[in-house]
Amino acid sequence: MKKSFGAKTLVFPTPVWVVGTYDRVGKPNVMTAAWGGICCSSPPCVAVSLRKATYTYGNIVERKAFTISVPSEAYAREADYIGMVSGKNVDKFVTAGLTPIRSSLVDAPYIGEFPLVIECRLLHTIEIGLHTQFVGEILDVKAEDSVCDEKGYVDIEKVKPILFDPEINTYHGVGRLLGRAFSIGKDVRDIHAEERTMNKLHFASQVFPNNGMIPSEYTCDGANGNPPLMIRNVPANSRSLALIVDDPDAPRGTWVHWVVWNMGPDTTEIPAKSVPRGALQGTNDFGKQSYGGPCPPSGTHRYFFKLYALDMSPALKTGATKAQLEEAMKGHILEKAELLGLYRRR
Ligand SMILES: Cc1cc2nc3c(=O)[nH]c(=O)nc-3n(C[C@H](O)[C@H](O)[C@H](O)COP(=O)(O)O)c2cc1C
């Protein structure tokens, strides 16, 4: 059931951007704006919506240019100040201790201390109501070396941009990585198509998509219990189900995180932090007879959750190894389904 909140500007996330301009006499000014976003890919453009009452409004109309400086979390206080005081009366750069840098491309300054900046020439001015939308063509994007990754891409986790909640007026940091765009969604289509046409064994989790990031709660950075898992379409002639979780990216060869067998063929859920009743657990590479969550020493590792539908129940004792289970399953696997999870420590 959804509750109605009426016609209002309530949507998440909005950015915290700082718009840089020069006034009539060349004094640099900045103001904070949350009503903004990318609005065209080609030519690359951004739009910011400002009230006529702001000093910045007149500056953009006059100079036909503006910059956007993206503050990192460390500059949340300065960004808040810049959004409360008008440049009509003060030099906000001086009071906030920030450095105005003259753009070489447009007639506007940006903030030297902020890690990511965009330089824009005014392309369109759209009167909407209380706010006027300024569409700026992006002529350049500049980022500090320190916020770029090894491949040279600007890294959102290094920039640490601020997100704004315009409903209760709070600032937030960027949350955890969920997965790759234009990638994790492919699987949804594939799985559904496969399920419809072939009724194949299906293995998934409610807390991360296939090829997506495993929430830290289910790793050594959190409570370290297994994530909840769902099983569908078990072949009718199955006698039991087995599960192996391992990481082929571990520095000293594949690392075993979980070994489980003797799960009933009617199992449809493995709830978080538990094993189905009657199932037995083997010894993982942490030396434990339980689940041991991801704990990669560096970089992003892949964790393969492999589910096997078997035509028998392996006669193994609690504590057996992955190799022993694999040996016992030989020639008895009716179907296998795989779920891939990723994890990188922060
Ligand atoms: C988080 C935050 C977001 C804001 N977003 C906008 C906005 O999108 N548009 C706007 O006109 N004012 C916005 N403001 C208010 C202006 O930043 C504020 O009026 C500022 O003093 C204007 O500065 P200026 O007069 O020097 O241009 C925001 C303020 C804050 C703190």
> Is the pLDDT confidence value at 183 over 90?
no
pLDDT in tens, 50-81: 999 999 999 999 999 999 999 999 999 999 99
Q: All domains of the chain, ordered by start, with CATH?
A: 14-172 (2.30.110.10), 186-343 (3.90.280.10)
Residue 182: predicted pLDDT: 87
> Is the pLDDT confidence value at 189 over 70?
no
Q: Give the chain's mean pLDDT.
A: 95
Ligand 1 centroid–CA 21 distance in Å is 13
Residue 331: predicted pLDDT: 97
Ligand 1 pocket test target in 24, 54, 81, 126 with most atoms within 8 Å of CB: 54
pLDDT in tens, 30-43: 999 999 999 999 99
Q: Which ligand 1 atom is at minimum distance from the Cα of 56?
A: 27
The verdict on the CB of residue 86 being under 6 Å from ligand 1 is yes
Average pLDDT over residues 257-283: 96
Q: Which ligand 1 atom is at minimum distance from the Cα of 51?
A: 11
d(CA 231, CA 239): 15
The verdict on the CB of residue 215 being under 6 Å from ligand 1 is no
Q: Which ligand 1 atom is at minimum distance from the Cα of 36?
A: 8
Residue 180: predicted pLDDT: 86
Residue 6: predicted pLDDT: 95
> Is the pLDDT confidence value at 250 over 80?
yes
Residue 227: predicted pLDDT: 98
The verdict on the CB of residue 30 being under 6 Å from ligand 1 is no
pTM, whole model, 2 decimals?
0.68
Task: Band the pLDDT of 195: cuts 50, 70, 90.
Answer: low
Ligand 1 pocket test target in 32, 46, 89 with most atoms within 8 Å of CB: 32
d(CA 287, CA 23): 67
pLDDT in tens, 90-113: 999 999 999 999 999 999 999 999
> Is the pLDDT confidence value at 198 over 80?
no
Ligand 1 centroid–CA 30 distance in Å is 9
The verdict on the CB of residue 66 being under 6 Å from ligand 1 is no
Q: How would you write 279-310 as a 3-class SS string?
A: CEECCCCCCCCCCCCCCCCCCCEEEEEEEEEE
The verdict on the CB of residue 56 being under 6 Å from ligand 1 is yes
Residue 199: predicted pLDDT: 81
d(CA 244, CA 158): 35
The verdict on the CB of residue 14 being under 6 Å from ligand 1 is no
Q: Residues with Cβ < 8 Å from 208, sequence gap 6 or more? A: 178, 179, 214, 215, 227, 341
pLDDT in tens, 145-165: 999 999 999 999 999 999 999
Ligand 1 centroid–CA 16 distance in Å is 10
Q: Is the peptide bond before 44 cis (omega within 30 degrees of 0)?
A: no
